Amino acid sequence: MMTKKLIEENKLDGSTIDGSGKDGRITKEDVLNVLESGLTPASDTAAASQGSIGMSKEGRLEERVPMSRLRAKVAERLLQASQSTAMLTTFNEVDMKPIMDIRKQYKEKFKETHGVGVGFMSFFTKAVTEALRQFPDVNAMIDDDHIVSFDYADIGIAVSGPKGLMVPVLRNAEQMSLAEIEAEIRRLALKSRDGKLTIQEMTGGTFTITNGGVFGSMLSTPIINPPQSAILGMHTIQDRPVAIDGEIVIRPMMYLALSYDHRLLDGKEAVSFLIAIKDQLESPEKLLLNL
């Protein structure tokens, strides 16, 4: 009864809360976690309805709308990242033709076999997990005066939802196949679209990938998602002239950006990590054969 009362008093939608109790029942702790996170439909709706319209000194209309609790939380974390880390960004570019050729050749068979399409994000996730295996410090984080390392790769995938940017996490991504990654990304993206992501699904990542390319971004410097130590930024694919074996050819190229915490990672390690990702993507047979 206490749980039901909490849901009713705070005008929550019980269908959006994942229960951790027996048979998926919602517990009091589940409700309190949602309230503490600020990711509630009621909080965002209420914030949006409290706007006010006034006149500027020049007599023009202005509207003031309070930030939703979600947007305020995102702003707080971004500010924390800029103030508490020694953030640097290194760049490289990757030739996407090998992956595009594989997708073109096998996309129909892949979907027929696995029930999901094969996109770029699964290749990038696999490349990241392999690079993290080679450079485990990138998968670590600073906790006061200690360095915490992990023998698993929980990869946060930044997705755009109706309430703003969300970063659901793929647990143990290093153990997933391309098809498993695609299926999990699809599941989380649909939950984000419907506003049903839980706190548990958005916490605990060890590394993050963000894809500004879906919006047309050519180059950017992504901000670290604390307490993580690095984040990979993908960008739009553009045909550009490049030199291969002494000849100028047109290739579909993508700029990559790796922002990292210089307190934990040296430039050499960060650059080598990004090159390892580039190498895996430009030779996707290595990803498929676990080389």
**Residue 24 and residue 21: Cα distance in Å, rounded?**
5
CA 192 to chain centre: 12
Specify the domain boundaries for CATH 4.10.320.10 within the chain.
Answer: 2-66
CATH code for the domain defined by 87-289: 3.30.559.10
**Residue 280 and residue 227: Cα distance in Å, rounded?**
26
- Non-local CB neighbours of 240 within 8 Å, separated by 6+ positions: 250, 251, 253
- Is 13 labeled as catalytic in the residue annotation? no
**pTM of this structure:** 0.76
Specify the domain boundaries for CATH 3.30.559.10 within the chain.
Answer: 87-289
DSSP state of 152: S
pLDDT at 153: 96
pLDDT at 291: 55
CATH code for the domain defined by 2-66: 4.10.320.10
Q: What confidence tens digit (pLDDT) does each residue in 93-132 have?
A: 999 999 999 999 998 999 999 999 889 999 999 999 999 9
Band (48; pLDDT cuts 50, 70, 90) = very low
Q: What confidence tens digit (pLDDT) does each residue in 10-19 have?
A: 666 666 676 7
- Is 144 labeled as catalytic in the residue annotation? no
From the list 13, 114, 262, 279, the catalytic residue is 262
From the list 95, 144, 266, 279, the catalytic residue is 266
Closest CA relative to residue 90, chosen from 226, 260, 210, 265: 260
Q: What confidence tens digit (pLDDT) does each residue in 53-91 have?
A: 776 777 777 878 887 776 777 677 777 777 778 899 999
Q: What confidence tens digit (pLDDT) does each residue in 250-291 have?
A: 999 999 999 999 999 999 999 999 999 999 999 988 777 665
pLDDT at 46: 47
Radius of gyration of the chain from its Cα atoms, rounded to whole angstroms? 21
- Non-local CB neighbours of 128 within 8 Å, separated by 6+ positions: 153, 155, 173, 207, 209, 232, 277
